[in-house]
Structure 1
Amino acid sequence: MAKLRIGTLERLRQIEGSLESRARRVRKRWLAILQAAVGAGLAYWVAQAVFGHDSPFFAPITVVIILGLSGGDRIRRAVELAMGCTIGVGLGDLLVLYLGPGVWQISIIVGISLLVASFASKSPLVSNQVAIGAILIATIMPPGTEGGGPARMLDAIIGAIIGLATIALLPSSPLNSGRHEVAKLLGIASSVLDDVATALDKGESGELDRAIHAVHNTQPDINNMLAAAKVGREMTSLSPLMWGARRRVRSLERILPAVEQTMRNARVLARRALVLCDDGDRVSTRLVNIVDELADIAASLSDLFDGEADAVEATQIPGLVRRLQILAASADMSAIRENGVLSEYVILAQSRSITVDLLEVCGWSRESAMSALAPTSETPAYPHERWPGIHEDDD
């Protein structure tokens, strides 16, 4: 039965449009709403009931801003936000008290606020919050209004603390986003390799232009993957409820360089396949099968990471590793046709590199993955290891 081939864009849409992915996005959106609602209400109550502030405007505002921060380092940025808001509110109170409201006063207040912020921190977040806090005081909350003075500065600190506490007590999964981004990238790599195998088999460039364009535009996805892993690590540091997931988060972080390298190698492979097809050259059937097998393994890994069941991974990863071992042992110089052209050698080399990358995605060290490759040198840096059940035909 012929293998069903799908294009790069179709595979991407399949991953993005899956019911599981949609459900995950809905859960994430509802969790964000719940965090903001609970955190803002709690901060307002603490500032009003515990500290006796009549109108603690800055407490819930700071919570919402902190919860809206994306990416990693939310703890550091929350501290910067609290510092910027505190300095801005205090400085605004002081300057408006002596300068008063007005057009030229706003310019002076903002200028002085940004100057002070530049000495306090180099972070743009601190500078922005200092200026915003001063502007709020100079326009809608001037000195003398209810809840003014040092109380406003304390409200900003309360909001920052409550915001971080809300993240810790109502945490999102530290793994789901990172796994989904890994699945998306492996899905794209699979489709690119699938398109390459089709082009090499037919000797026609076909959809290679589109595949190359798709893989060239994956840098934002790579950045999202790295940011999602960073958020996951931060979540396991901040929330006691997620401390048990630290080992799995570290395991996910270890494979990210291999996923990124898979994309880079797939890009080079696709470009070289395009050159080969444009030149009218062909490759051996064995080399086509190697690329095709890599596409299928990458697709299986994509499906695996798009799920959430560790038990499934435990049963499926060994099978994929076995297939990669067999592939690595067979990807030697004999896969090149007699009088093979340069592009054919490059395609073999990139296929070997992707095999190593995918073994690392499966949890292998780079040294072990390199030693699985059939040697192409008399003095390989990583001597080839013979695995039971793979080399019997050679004995």
Structure 2
Amino acid sequence: MAPAANRLQSRLAAGSRRLQLSALPIAQCAVAAGLAWFVASDVIGHARPFFAPIAAVISLGVSLGSRLRRVAELVVGVSLGVLIGDLLISVIGSGTWQIMLVVALAMAAAVFTDGATLLVAQAGASAVLVATLLPPGGAGGFDRCIDALIGGALGLLVAAVLPSDPVAPVRRESRTLLDELAAVLSDTAAALRKRDAEAASAALARARASQPLIDELRAALRGGHEVTRVSPMLRRHRRVLRPYEELAKRADYAMRNTRVLVRRTYTALCDDEPAAPELADVLSELATAVRAITAQLGRDGDRVLAREPVIDVVRHARALAGTFEPGPSEVVIVAQARSIALDLLQATGMSRPEALAAMRGDPDED
């Protein structure tokens, strides 16, 4: 019973965390939907303006994204579907083949116009609604276009008045990506230390599976920038997001270099090539340096305090290189460790020349 209770408790805790993270977007959708219905029904006077709250919810969504583009796609898609549906149904009537024809033509027109997924889907859905619910030849088609515009506009208004935090999701995704990078480096160090090819293979698979984390960080950045564009109150956060753009780019490069490093480690272990035990220590220190950057996210100093652990790794690797004659795999591992260190220093805000100078130990470049 205890394991089952623990699993249930874990699921409830995970669900609670997801709900907490989505609480504001859900509230935005609820408020926007209600306002859209009120404006379209009570202010404009449209009968059953179901497109208005639908447009409001779709334009906002539960997560951040390209809201401005979604609103445009939504309005254009609804307009295409309604226009084609209303014109054709008024001539050919309603029925099975008529619905098939109207949906096909509306979606084909949407694909020809733009091809965006939301635009095409809304064109097809709107054509279905016109063909099945709206009286042909009336003013309903034009009213539904207005309803879609009202819903989309109110969705953007609610996003501006009740904005989401543009930085918190970016910081959260950055931590997740850096934690994964540190974990891969730690796993590789352990595999190298134990000369365990299977562990190295698992680390390589983990590194190769990291691309979604990079994509999620970039999506969070796009969403954060969009919030600062839509909401005047949060435009000051643009300067906060700017360093995270460089962090995302450099973390991506660091993960790519890590994949090369892990693949070479795996090859060396499979081929029983020699590898200095101290190399595992270098990789462990590199993982610790990544965690130091993670610990500085959101703090004053803009990750400057995390630079010294990275430079220490470079010093250790340089000192190690002078103690033995490296083999082919050892050369690659050391070179990739240096490349990762360069990426990490640039992730802390240093330019490439500054980072290279720091790695060389030039005293004038801190």
TM-score by length of 2: 0.88
Cα displacement string for residues 35-93 of structure 1 (whole angstroms, at most 9, x for unaligned residues): 11100000011112221213211100111111227563220221111111122123322
Residue 89 (str. 1) matches residue 82 (str. 2): yes
- Please, which of 200, 224, 236 is the counterpart of residue 232 of structure 1? 224
Cα displacement string for residues 10-52 of structure 1 (whole angstroms, at most 9, x for unaligned residues): xxxxxxx9x9998763333211221111000000111122212
Aligned-pair RMSD on alpha carbons? 2.7
- Distance in 2 between the 1:329 and 1:232 partners? 37
One-letter code of the match for 1:91? I
- Please, which of 319, 326, 336 is the counterpart of residue 350 of structure 1? 336
- Please, which of 118, 122, 133 is the counterpart of residue 129 of structure 1? 122
- Distance in 2 between the 1:158 and 1:199 partners? 59
- Distance in 2 between the 1:273 and 1:22 partners? 39
Residue 168 (str. 1) matches residue 160 (str. 2): yes
SS of corresponding position for 2:140: coil
One-letter code of the match for 1:386? P
Q: Shift of residue 373 of structure 1?
A: 2.4
Alignment map for 1:94-109 (pairs within 5 Å): 94-109=87-102
Cα displacement string for residues 113-149 of structure 1 (whole angstroms, at most 9, x for unaligned residues): 234334433433322212211111101333378x824
SS of corresponding position for 2:174: helix
What is the number of residues matched between the two proteins?
Answer: 356
User: Would the alpha carbon gap of residues 336 and 72 (structure 1) be closer, same or farther in structure 2, given more than 3 Å must change?
Assistant: farther
1:68 is aligned to 61
One-letter code of the match for 1:244? R
1:259 is aligned to 251
Residue 48 (str. 1) matches residue 41 (str. 2): yes
2:7 is aligned to none
User: Would the alpha carbon gap of residues 303 and 318 (structure 1) be closer, same or farther in structure 2, given more than 3 Å must change?
Assistant: closer
- Distance in 1 between the 2:105 and 2:118 partners? 16
Residue 193 (str. 1) matches residue 179 (str. 2): no
- Distance in 1 between the 2:22 and 2:58 partners? 16
1:242 is aligned to 234
Residue 328 (str. 1) matches residue 320 (str. 2): no
Q: Which runs of 5+ in 2 are unaligned?
A: 1-9
Residue 39 (str. 1) matches residue 32 (str. 2): yes
Cα displacement string for residues 188-216 of structure 1 (whole angstroms, at most 9, x for unaligned residues): 11112112222333333362221111111
- Distance in 2 between the 1:320 and 1:65 partners? 41
TM-score by length of 1: 0.82
User: Would the alpha carbon gap of residues 69 and 30 (structure 1) be closer, same or farther in structure 2, given more than 3 Å must change?
Assistant: closer
- Please, which of 385, 391, 394 is the counterpart of residue 362 of structure 2? 385
2:325 is aligned to 339
Residue 77 (str. 1) matches residue 54 (str. 2): no
1:27 is aligned to 20
- Distance in 1 between the 2:13 and 2:161 partners? 25
Residue 299 (str. 1) matches residue 291 (str. 2): yes
Contact 1:189 1:263 in 2 (8 A): yes
Q: Shift of residue 300 of structure 1?
A: 2.8
Q: Shift of residue 286 of structure 1?
A: 4.2
- Distance in 1 between the 2:148 and 2:257 partners? 48
Contact 2:292 2:309 in 1 (8 A): no
Q: Which runs of 5+ in 1 are unaligned?
A: 1-16, 375-383, 391-395
Per mean C-alpha deviation after superposition, the further-off stretch among 342-351 and 248-257 is 248-257
1:156 is aligned to 148
2:3 is aligned to none
Q: Shift of residue 100 of structure 1?
A: 1.1
Residue 208 (str. 1) matches residue 200 (str. 2): yes
Q: Shift of residue 258 of structure 1?
A: 0.4
- Please, which of 351, 359, 363 is the counterpart of residue 373 of structure 1? 359
- Please, which of 272, 279, 282 is the counterpart of residue 287 of structure 1? 279
- Distance in 1 between the 2:227 and 2:190 partners? 43
Q: Shift of residue 341 of structure 1?
A: 1.0
One-letter code of the match for 1:29? S
Q: Shift of residue 157 of structure 1?
A: 0.8
User: Would the alpha carbon gap of residues 273 and 329 (structure 1) be closer, same or farther in structure 2, given more than 3 Å must change?
Assistant: same
Contact 2:250 2:346 in 1 (8 A): yes
Contact 1:203 1:282 in 2 (8 A): no
- Distance in 1 between the 2:228 and 2:181 partners? 30
